[in-house]
Amino acid sequence: MLIGWQNLIRKRIERTKQIISEAEKELRLLAKNSLFLPGLMLYWAEGDKSGSNEVVKFTNSDSVMVKLKKKSII
């Protein structure tokens, strides 16, 4: 019989495996978009990582970069 903390660890490991599996499937779909990786790099370099996880914030004074980022998420 598992002790309470052992059961919590087991559940966390199972949930982590499920999340990784779902992320791998989603990445395969996203990677088909040729602008996904450039857009991801732009977000990493210029995006706002604070606040809500539901919003993409991107700031750059170069209009070409802004257009590229916009195309990468559409």
Least confident of 10-14, 15-19, 59-63: 59-63
CA 55 to the chain's CA centroid: 12
* CA angle centred on 38, ends 32 and 43, rounded to 5°: 115
Q: Average pLDDT of the chain?
A: 83
Q: Which two tokens stand for residue 58?
A: 């991107």
Between 74 and 62, residue with greater pLDDT? 62
Query: Which pair of structure tokens corresponds to residue 63?
Result: 């209009």
Band of residue 62 on the pLDDT scale cut at 50, 70, 90: confident
Shortest CA distance to 41 belongs to which of 67, 65, 19?
65
Q: Has residue 1 got a pLDDT over 70? A: no
User: What is the average per-residue pLDDT within 30-39?
Assistant: 84
Whether the pLDDT of residue 55 is over 80: the answer is: no
